[in-house]
Amino acid sequence: MRFISFFRISLLVVGFSMVTALMTGCEEKHVSMLPAFAGFRLEPSQWTAGDSVVITAVQSRTGDLLYRAEYEWRVTCGDTTFFKTAKVVYDVDKSDPSFGFRIPEDVSGSTSISFSATYQYSSATISSDIPGSVTATGGLVGSFSAMAGGMIEASCSGSATTVIAPLPSSEEQ
């Protein structure tokens, strides 16, 4: 009888050890990494009424294992506002988000650019390397807030300003 009890206890200990080893061996090896932004690139760098322009949110680091990215743009030029919302599968399209439009010929003056990005994680584990806030340098403009998020998604926002020069009058041409 003692032999059987010892045998059952030995099996329980061995079984418990195997389960513990399996559980610690199943740690998440795939970690979602958030992108980081460096600033905005404005093309052309000097805007004039009537120009076709492109604003690009330049990533200093691309992310990894992110399912969905949603980008929202808002550009206000006087009384005129341009909007754009784009949704992409980030791991398929890691390109820098951009927004292009044509400035109306009757618009000039100060312009504000607002951008937000929201990312949904593809992994249950999130990197502890969370991008902080940044002010653009090196030919880029604007600033970005630090990434903030929860268990399933994270987001950040950025902003910049520029000036739209009026069209030269017909007398100046």
pLDDT average per 10 residues of sequence, the chain (173 residues):
56 47 52 94 96 97 95 94 97 97 94 97 84 91 92 94 89 57
The domain over range 31-165 is classified in CATH as 2.30.29:
no
Classify each residue of 133-168 as buried b or exposed e, where b means 16 or more C-beta atoms within 10 Å of its C-beta: ebebeeebbbbbbebebeeebbbbbbbbebebeebe
Per-residue model confidence (pLDDT) at position 24: 42
Is the pTM of the predicted complex or chain greater than 0.85?
A: no
Per-residue model confidence (pLDDT) at position 169: 77
CA–CA distance, 87 with 82 (Å, rounded to integer): 17
Per-residue model confidence (pLDDT) at position 5: 61
Per-residue model confidence (pLDDT) at position 35: 95
Per-residue model confidence (pLDDT) at position 22: 43
Q: What sign has the CA pseudo-torsion 36, 39, 43, 48? A: positive
Tokens of 162: 């520029």
| Residue listed under structure tokens 């052309």 | 44
CA distances from 32 to 14, 64, 73, 108, 120 (A): 35, 6, 24, 42, 9
| Residue listed under structure tokens 């807030």 | 145
The answer to whether the beta carbons of residues 167 and 109 sit under 8 Å apart is no
Per-residue model confidence (pLDDT) at position 17: 47
